[in-house]
Amino acid sequence: MILMTSLTKKIALLGIITAANVVIARTFLIPIPFTHGNINLCDAGIVLAALLFGSRAGGVVGALSGLLLDLISGYPQYMFFSLLAHGTEGYIIGQLGQKRQWLGPLAGTLVMVTVYFGADSFLYTVPTGLVGIPLNLLQGVIGVTVGYLLVVGLNKRLAF
């Protein structure tokens, strides 16, 4: 019989959150014209993992979700930018969001938007990067809102 430690349970749960996050984000994917990017719900799962389990969990779920989502969605040119954008976003949300739940998601979203501006500007043009800013902000706000509502709902039902 294998004894399942709390670390094993946490890793398994984060794997499930990552997989669910990728499936949900892929299901509700809206392409953004002129930017080669998309709006999705990837940020919701990142907020969930970061606020419930902390910065490392948020970073891991963010990095893996971003990379895998781009890989299976036909945006391989963004894979490593998404790993950086969403991994850093998750880490920052977990780091700052533990004490001030509004500050972490705000800072994390701004970092995500900044990384994607850089990615779009590098891969295409600076005007393409500029077009993506409001749309990436919209994605961040929607994802943070959905993620925060999930955190509130789960905190009421589960004892973490």
Measured distance CA(93)–CA(87) in Å, rounded: 10
- Give me the DSSP letters along 45-88: HHHHHHHHH-HHHHHHHHHHHHHHHHHHHT-GGGHHHHHHHHHH
Tell me what the pLDDT averaged over the chain comes to: 91
Query: For 108-124, what is the mean pLDDT?
Result: 97
User: What's the predicted TM-score (pTM) here?
Assistant: 0.91
Please state the rounded mean pLDDT for residues 134-139.
94
Per-residue DSSP letter, 41: S
CB 91 within 8 A of CB 58: yes
Show the domains of the chain with their CATH numbers.
Answer: 9-26+34-154 (1.10.1760.20)
- pLDDT digits over 28-83, tens only? 888 877 667 778 999 999 999 999 999 999 999 999 999 999 999 989 999 999 99
**Is the separation of the CB atoms in 120 and 37 below 8 Å?**
yes
